[in-house]
């Protein structure tokens, strides 16, 4: 499509159809945001019809460009585009906008609607995820094949996206890394829900992005030739690009254009009828798609099929290449034979090891077996032990397997999601466990989408010591365990840590959090106790009772050692005591009822759980007759051993509580 064709009446008619189809969907649902789809219609038209490399008949081919509608409240826009260009989204789906079971949810959802690349809704997440997508593309281009993976990542974003702090973190890193395949189109409509953006937002956005190292242009959003030329220049710039399009929310609505009234509610019957008259349409006809518009926009399928066929031909010619062959297998979810052999095995002779140290050894062992395994930390690599020793650093213009996210935990979480959207990649990111608070929105979206980033979170309890309560995670285990489809694993020693990594790599259905200690923990004698492979069932009998079972001690992480010491003392007094290591509630709950009752039998109601964190939730495992040794307050600044003793995380306290329970 050339710029000379912009004067064709069917082009303008197509753009108006996008506007009104979106407005009709919102009106019928009596819920949604019509204004942004109406203002963004020309830009979306240009993207899908000319600039975006995509195939509506196969939304997931790996060589396609990526498109993120970061302002997810404008979901009616992407649904209209998907339907009109021939994706598997029917007009009935458009009519069922925001209804139960419909493909057209209130915000775009990944794996729910064909053609939606990522779930957006929380503002700022889309633009930040797009940075990860662009990084993933750069990595594949430089590490696998430059011709196959020269795709771009396009984003339509709003004032709200650029106000949220996560977007600043992500844009700063994108500019630093010179991600030239990343293009934002910012709808500068100067309206938010509360009114004019001048109420709270008066900065020069363009100057800010120039300072980040971006290419910045300003255009009129209704001027197709201007927008088209800016998109072409963006594609030829080595920097990430921000195109600031001056647009008008609710474009064409005679009484609501440029007002907050076009933002978060339907236009209303009368206003929508007047708007249709502005665009020369029958005010009484809804969901109107003129035949010439349908024929024109369905041409995307012909263009897309050819683009994919050309790419597939390239792929077929390159399959004998080792990097391409390896990528193909990993992109299908096939891990190489023997990948687990990279995981270290530890013996008691190795002495006490912090589980963060054991994790570092596991990362390096896995990196030798998994070519597309990559990650890093939010400036905490030496402490999180996340550095891949035989790999280089990801630097401006040059990708590698060690990513330096900088002190940007918010963005790191979102970028990991973007990397997970890149077929074949297995990304991880590290920080202190307490900073999961910064990453929570991205972690929640990963769980919602079924993405599989691996979070390496160290300094897991008050056992980190002197840094004090600001850095001591107390409530974090409980809060993350409450999140659906998130697997939390807190290993008890070095070998459980290796098995935790095995579980994380094997889990491609959702994110995994590895919760690791700062302090050294004894490496358990697996000749004496059960194998660490029991971790894969979430909970297992680590040490069996001698004689009739009278008491069950349950613990995770650094407290398991105390449970074992307490068991030994209690057994000497003739109290048949079992120790259950319970590193992952989620994995344990996936086991059948018979297994769970075997580990925690109904015949043993006297149970004591110990964990250096919130007591919340442990009731499910100790029952009405049990006791919980945990924390319902914040910690303090002191040496770790002193803190553990003060708060009762010792074998002696466990013995005392157990005896009270027995008595």
Phi, psi of 648 (to 5 degrees): 90, 15
Tokens coding 132: 């990860």
**Alpha helix ranges (H) inside 244-332:** 269-278, 291-297, 299-318, 322-331
Contacts for 19 with CB less than 8 Å, ≥ 6 apart: 37, 38, 41, 251, 252, 279
At residue 62, the 3 state secondary structure works out as: coil
Tokens coding 505: 């790599």
Q: Which of 239, 231, 214 is nearest to 45 (CA)?
A: 231
Q: Which of 503, 543, 547 is nearest to 527 (CA)?
A: 543
At residue 304, the 3 state secondary structure works out as: helix
Give the separation between CA 340 and CA 335, rounded to whole angstroms. 10
Helix (H) or strand (E) holding 88: none
Torsion 322-328-329-330 (CA) sign: positive
Size of the chain, expressed as the number of residues it contains: 663
Phi, psi of 615 (to 5 degrees): -75, -15
Verify whether residue 409 is a known catalytic residue: yes
Q: Which of 335, 349, 352, 389 is nearest to 367 (CA)?
A: 389
Farthest CA pair distance, the chain: 92
Tokens coding 209: 């992005």
Give the separation between CA 439 and CA 444, rounded to whole angstroms. 9
Contact status, residue 521 vs residue 355, Cβ threshold 8 Å: yes
Phi, psi of 156 (to 5 degrees): -105, 125
How distant is the alpha carbon of residue 487 from its chain centre? 13
Task: Considering the candidates 39, 217, 409, 611, report the single residue annotated as catalytic.
Answer: 409
Tokens coding 244: 């600031």
Tokens coding 572: 């000497």
Sheet holding 487-489, edge to edge: 402-404, 373-377, 426-432, 454-458, 512-515, 487-489
Phi, psi of 530 (to 5 degrees): -65, 155
β-sheet bridge partners, residue 628: 609
**Which residues form the catalytic set?**
409
């Amino acid at each position: 499509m050339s710029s000379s064709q912009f004067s064709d009446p069917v082009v303008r008619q197509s753009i108006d159809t996008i506007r009104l189809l979106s407005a009709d969907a919102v009106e019928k649902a009596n819920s949604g945001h019509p204004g942004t789809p109406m203002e963004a219609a020309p830009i979306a038209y240009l993207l899908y019809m000319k600039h975006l490399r995509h195939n509506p008949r196969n939304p997931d081919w790996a060589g396609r460009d990526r498109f993120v509608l970061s302002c997810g409240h404008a979901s009616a826009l992407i649904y209209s585009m998907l339907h009109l260009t021939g994706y598997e989204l029917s007009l009935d789906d458009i009519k069922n906008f925001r209804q139960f079971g419909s493909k057209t949810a209130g915000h775009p959802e990944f794996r729910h609607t064909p053609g939606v690349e990522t779930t957006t809704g929380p503002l700022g997440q889309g633009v930040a995820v797009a940075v990860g997508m662009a990084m993933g593309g750069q990595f594949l281009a430089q590490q696998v094949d430059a011709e196959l993976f020269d795709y771009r990542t396009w984003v339509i974003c709003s004032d709200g996206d650029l106000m949220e702090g996560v977007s600043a973190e992500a844009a700063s890193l994108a500019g630093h890394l010179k991600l030239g395949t990343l293009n934002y189109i910012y709808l500068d409509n100067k309206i938010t829900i509360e009114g004019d953006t001048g109420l709270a937002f008066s900065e020069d956005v363009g100057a800010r992005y120039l300072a980040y190292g971006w290419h910045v242009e300003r255009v009129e959003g209704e001027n197709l030739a201007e927008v088209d030329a800016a998109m072409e220049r963006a594609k030829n710039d080595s920097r990430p690009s921000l195109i600031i399009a001056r647009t008008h929310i609710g474009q064409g609505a005679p009484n609501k254009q440029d007002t907050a009234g076009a933002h978060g509610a339907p236009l209303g019957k009368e206003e929508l009828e007047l708007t249709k008259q502005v665009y020369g349409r029958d005010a009484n006809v809804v969901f109107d798609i003129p035949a010439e518009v349908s024929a024109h926009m369905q041409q995307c399928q012909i263009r897309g099929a050819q683009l994919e066929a050309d790419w597939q031909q390239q792929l077929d010619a390159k399959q004998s290449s080792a990097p391409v062959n390896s990528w193909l297998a990993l992109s299908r979810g096939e891990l190489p034979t023997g990948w687990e052999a990279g995981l270290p095995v530890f013996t008691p002779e190795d002495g006490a090891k912090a589980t963060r140290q054991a994790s570092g050894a596991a990362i390096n062992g896995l990196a030798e077996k998994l070519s597309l395994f990559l990650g890093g930390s939010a400036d905490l690599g030496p402490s999180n032990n996340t550095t891949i020793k035989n790999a280089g650093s990801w630097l401006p213009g040059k990708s590698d397997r060690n990513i330096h996210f900088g002190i940007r935990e918010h963005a790191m979480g979102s970028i990991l999601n973007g990397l997970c959207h890149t077929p074949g990649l297995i990304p991880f990111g590290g920080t202190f466990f307490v900073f999961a608070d910064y990453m929570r929105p991205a972690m929640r979206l990963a769980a919602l989408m079924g993405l599989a980033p691996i979070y390496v979170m160290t300094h897991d309890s008050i056992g980190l010591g002197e840094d004090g309560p600001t850095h001591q995670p107390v409530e974090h285990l409980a809060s993350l365990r409450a999140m659906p489809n998130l697997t939390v694993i807190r290993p008890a020693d070095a070998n459980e840590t290796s098995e935790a990594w095995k579980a994380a790599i094997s889990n491609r259905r959702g994110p995994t959090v590895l919760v690791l200690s700062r302090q050294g923990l004894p490496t358990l004698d697996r000749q004496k106790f059960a194998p660490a492979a029991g971790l894969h069932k979430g909970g297992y009998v680590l040490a069996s009772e001698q004689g009739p079972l009278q008491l069950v001690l349950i613990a995770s992480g650094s407290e398991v050692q105390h449970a074992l010491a307490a068991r030994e003392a209690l057994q000497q007094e003739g109290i048949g005591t079992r120790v259950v290591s319970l590193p992952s509630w989620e994995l344990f709950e996936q086991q059948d009822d018979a297994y769970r009752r075997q580990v925690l039998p109904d015949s043993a109601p006297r149970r004591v759980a110990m964990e250096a964190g919130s007591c919340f939730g442990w009731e499910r495992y100790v029952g009405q007759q049990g006791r919980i040794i945990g924390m319902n307050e914040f910690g303090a600044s002191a040496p770790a051993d002193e803190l553990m003793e003060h708060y009762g995380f010792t074998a002696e306290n466990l013995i005392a509580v157990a005896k009270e329970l027995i008595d």
